[in-house]
């Protein structure tokens, strides 16, 4: 449904997006993740035909957005970062105007506007001026504007920004509901949102794709060996020695310590489950087991990991932060 091929966008000498390639299948929700300034919005703007790419191309619903912009745009609904509302128009007037320029037939406009207002839960504000709406309503009117002409492709740039928790859940439900007959690109930096709604995730950093996978795969893929968190009530030195002796354990590191209890992160060797042996040893040595659980990398960790790796090339070891500050003070 959406095909982005070798997309590059330069502003003068600055490269905002550098050779991005990905595709989104019909009915899929793709999460588009990246830190601020990674090129998310630029990519969305190229896909929606707001600006042309310097190199490469984007094809939406079979139409090249650059060479067949009108046809492509008919199939796209776009919610930009700031909802594009005209403050002096009421919600109803605004949506009727949008319906008109998006090519909704005159006979259908009224019912379509009503239906969309119901769907995005803004009907109670239908006759309020857009400029006087709360942030949450503005966001939802923006969403209404994007889905109004029932486009095949929806590009949503942070659709839940500024909503309260209840509205966020409602909006996510709506997005999932829309996914059936729409293809969606969801641009966000809220990671749980991606984990909950998206089937696939593209992570970009500094204009480059650093990972494309399902959220589940991403959280396990980067996780070289299995980590286990153990909290004990025992003498730290002794406990560390005991844990390290357990067969299959690769590394033990202390993670936290507070009045009498010590937390450890135990990393086992690739593909080995050491939990049973671990518990046996702990009990045998009477180390006072309080907690034991596998550490699953959250999407946050994955994200930080990937985007950090990009920033600092792995082979170059960096001095520890405290050292460098000390040096600076000398």
Partner 1 sequence: MTNVLAIAERELRAYFASPIAWMMIGLFALLAGVFYVTTLAYFVQASMQMDSFAAMGQAPQPLNINQQLIRPLFLNVSVVALFMLPMLTMRTYAEEKRSGTIELLLTSPLTDWQIIMGKYLGALTLYAVMLLVTVVHVGVLFFYGEPEWRTVVSGYLGMLLMGGAFLSLGLFISSTTKNQIVAAAMTFAALLLLWTVSWFADSASPTTAAVLRHLSIIEHFDDFAKGVIDTGHLVYYLSFIAFGLFLTAKSVDTERWRG
Q: Minimal distance in Å, beta carbon 88 to partner 1?
A: 4
**Given candidates 92, 102, 140, 200, which one binds partner 1 under the rule CB under 8 A?**
102
What's the CA gap between 253 and 150, in Å, rounded?
54
- Got the DSSP string for 153-199? EEEEESTTTT--HHHHHHHHHHHHHHHTTSEEEEEES-HHHHHHH-S
Complex with partner 1: residue 82 or 255, whichever CB lies closer: 82
Q: What is each CA distance from 303 to 200, 202, 208, in whole angstroms?
A: 14, 10, 14
Which residue is associated with the tokens 């942070």?
A: 158
Which residue is associated with the tokens 């995005």?
A: 120
Q: Are 168 and 91 in contact (CB under 8 A)?
A: no
What's the CA gap between 197 and 177, in Å, rounded?
10
Q: Is residue 247 involved in binding partner 1 (CB under 8 A)? A: no
Q: Is residue 4 involved in binding partner 1 (CB under 8 A)? A: no
Complex with partner 1: residue 45 or 172, whichever CB lies closer: 45
Q: Minimal distance in Å, beta carbon 234 to partner 1?
A: 59
Residue 88: other Cβ atoms inside 10 A: 10
Q: Minimal distance in Å, beta carbon 145 to partner 1?
A: 7
**Given candidates 25, 55, 88, 124, which one binds partner 1 under the rule CB under 8 A?**
88
Q: Are 172 and 193 in contact (CB under 8 A)?
A: yes
Q: Is residue 9 involved in binding partner 1 (CB under 8 A)? A: yes
What's the CA gap between 53 and 41, in Å, rounded?
13
**Given candidates 1, 33, 73, 202, which one binds partner 1 under the rule CB under 8 A?**
73
Stretch that binds partner 1, among 18-26, 85-93, 235-243, 317-325 (CB under 8 A): 85-93
Structure tokens that stand for 302 in this block: 């994955």
Q: Minimal distance in Å, beta carbon 87 to partner 1?
A: 8
Q: Is residue 233 involved in binding partner 1 (CB under 8 A)? A: no
* Interface with partner 1 in residues 134-193 (CB under 8 A): 145
* Interface with partner 1 in residues 41-60 (CB under 8 A): 42, 45, 48-52
Q: Is residue 87 involved in binding partner 1 (CB under 8 A)? A: yes
Containing 93, the helix (H) or strand (E) segment is helix 91-101
User: Which residues form the interface with partner 1 (CB under 8 A)?
Assistant: 9, 11, 16, 42, 45, 48-52, 69-71, 73-74, 76, 78, 80-82, 84-89, 93, 97-98, 100-103, 145
């Amino acid at each position: 449904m959406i095909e982005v091929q070798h997309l590059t966008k330069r502003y003068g000498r600055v490269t905002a997006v550098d050779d991005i390639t990905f595709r989104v299948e019909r009915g899929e929700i793709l999460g588009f993740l990246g830190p601020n300034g990674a090129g998310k919005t630029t990519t969305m703007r190229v896909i929606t035909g707001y600006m042309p790419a310097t190199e490469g191309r984007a094809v939406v619903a079979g139409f090249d957005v650059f060479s067949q912009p009108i046809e492509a745009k008919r199939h796209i609904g776009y919610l930009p970062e700031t909802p594009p509302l005209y403050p002096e128009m009421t919600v109803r007037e605004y949506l009727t105007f949008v319906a008109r320029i998006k090519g909704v037939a005159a006979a259908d406009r009224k019912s379509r506007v009503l239906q969309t207002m119901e769907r995005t839960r803004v009907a109670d504000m239908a006759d309020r001026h857009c400029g006087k709406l709360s942030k949450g309503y503005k966001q939802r009117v923006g969403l209404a504007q994007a889905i109004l002409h029932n486009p095949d492709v929806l590009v949503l740039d942070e659709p839940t920004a500024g909503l309260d928790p209840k509205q966020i859940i409602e909006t996510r439900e709506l997005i999932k509901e829309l996914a059936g007959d729409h293809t969606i690109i969801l641009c966000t930096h809220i990671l749980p949102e991606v984990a909950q709604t998206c089937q696939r995730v593209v992570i970009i950093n500094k204009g480059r794709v650093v990972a494309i996978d399902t959220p589940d795969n991403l959280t396990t893929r980067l996780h070289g060996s299995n980590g286990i968190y153990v909290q004990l009530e025992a003498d730290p030195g002794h406990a560390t020695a005991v844990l390290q002796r357990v067969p299959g354990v690769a590394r033990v590191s202390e993670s936290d310590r507070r009045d009498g209890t010590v937390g450890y992160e135990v990393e086992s060797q690739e593909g080995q489950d050491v939990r049973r042996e671990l518990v046996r040893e702990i009990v045998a040595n009477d180390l006072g087991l309080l907690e034991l659980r596998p550490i699953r990398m959250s999407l946050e960790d994955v994200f930080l990991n990937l985007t950090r790796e990009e920033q600092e090339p792995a082979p170059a070891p960096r001095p520890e932060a405290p050292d460098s500050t000390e040096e600076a003070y000398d």
